[in-house]
């Protein structure tokens, strides 16, 4: 997504700027700087090539294993922040340098405005993927129980009848934590801190592997958790928890 949709959006913004037919809001706080390019001679291919090079670097870094990817993307994000810091002084330089230099300055300004926080984007994508992998395992576990009458002692028993392979927890390049319990199972990824927080969920509804009414957990010390069975839904308890009385919020 970052390499494709965001790349196309950045390239489209450059073409809009070239035509002069753009809404100032398209460039956020950089509209004033970019408006200064009107009437200046610009080699727009420089900006287009530079944008593609940057997104190629982001795409290449994104394909690395998790820890290497984080380090590579963090370095790229710092480089983008440096471009942003240079943007204000570059506005003055736009009218001074040669066409080639001016075009490169414009490209740097555009990149500082168009490239989003690469770490934020990839963190969100990683979280979605690990949740999908956990759900994939949970589906395999449900199929196993339907066929065998109980959950397996270990995840490897799902292969090959229910899963072609068991997804690994890429946050530490090890298997998901799986524990068969008396009434079901506990399955979790250690999530982004790479540390086993004993099955305490990001949402706070599961603490140390068990459902709880506690929701005040440290988001930096939690896992991505599936705990089966889930508690029976209690609407009244939910209303009481949020202070809702008779369909309205109590005083």
DSSP secondary structure string, 63-118? TS-HHHHHHHHHHHHHHHHHHHHHHHHHHHHTTTS-HHHHHHHHHHHHHHHHS--H
Whether this prediction's pTM lies above 0.85 is answered by no
pLDDT at 146: 97
Averaged over 170-194, what is the pLDDT? 95
List, for residues 149-174, the tens digit of each pLDDT value. Answer: 999 999 999 999 999 999 999 999 99
Judging by beta carbons within 10 Å of its beta carbon (0-12, 13-18, 19+), is residue 224 exposed, middle or buried? buried
pLDDT of residue 37: 61
Least confident of 64-73, 138-147, 179-188, 226-235: 226-235
Q: What is the mean pLDDT of the chain?
A: 83
**For 27-83, what is each residue's pLDDT tens digit?**
555 555 566 566 678 888 988 998 899 889 988 998 898 889 889 988 988 888 787
In contact, 120 and 6? CB cutoff 8 Å = no
Does residue 200 or residue 22 have the better pLDDT? Answer: 200
pLDDT per residue over 99-125, tens digit each? 777 787 778 877 877 776 777 888 888
pLDDT for residue 241 is more than 70: no
Residue 104: predicted pLDDT: 79
Please check the confidence at residue 17 and state whether its pLDDT lies above 60: yes
Q: How confident is the model at residue 249 (pLDDT cuts 50, 70, 90)?
A: very low
Highest-pLDDT range among 98-112, 189-203, 234-248: 189-203
- Residue written as tokens 């066409």? 99
Share of the chain above pLDDT 70, in %: 78
Distances (CA, A) of 62 to 3, 16, 80, 107: 9, 28, 16, 23
The predicted pLDDT at position 164 comes to 96
Of residues 88 and 22, more confidence is placed in 22
- Say how far apart CA 210 and CA 241 lie, in whole Å: 19
Residue 2 has pLDDT above 90, yes or no: no
């Amino acid at each position: 997504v970052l390499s494709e949709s965001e790349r196309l959006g950045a390239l489209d913004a450059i073409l809009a700027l070239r035509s002069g037919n753009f809404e100032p809001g398209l460039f956020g706080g950089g509209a004033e700087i970019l408006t200064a390019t009107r009437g200046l001679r610009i080699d727009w291919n420089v900006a287009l090539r530079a944008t593609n090079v940057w997104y190629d670097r982001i795409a290449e870094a994104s394909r690395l294993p998790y820890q290497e990817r984080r380090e590579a993307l963090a370095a790229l994000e710092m480089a983008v922040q440096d471009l942003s810091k240079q943007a204000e002084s570059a506005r003055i330089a736009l009218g001074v340098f040669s066409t080639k230099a001016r075009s490169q300055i414009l490209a740097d300004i555009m990149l500082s405005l168009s490239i989003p926080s690469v770490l934020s984007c990839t963190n969100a994508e990683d979280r979605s993927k690990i949740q999908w992998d956990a759900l994939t395992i949970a589906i395999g576990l449900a199929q196993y129980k339907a066929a065998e009458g109980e959950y397996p002692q270990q995840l490897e028993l799902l292969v090959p009848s229910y899963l072609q392979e068991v997804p690994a927890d890429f946050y530490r390049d090890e298997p998901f934590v799986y524990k068969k319990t008396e009434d079901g199972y506990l399955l979790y990824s250690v999530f982004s801190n790479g540390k086993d927080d004993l099955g305490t969920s990001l949402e706070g509804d599961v603490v140390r592997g068990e459902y709880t009414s506690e929701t005040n957990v440290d988001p930096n010390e939690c896992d991505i958790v599936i705990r089966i069975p889930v508690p029976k839904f209690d609407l009244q308890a939910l209303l009481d928890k949020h202070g809702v009385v008779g369909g309205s919020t109590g005083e």
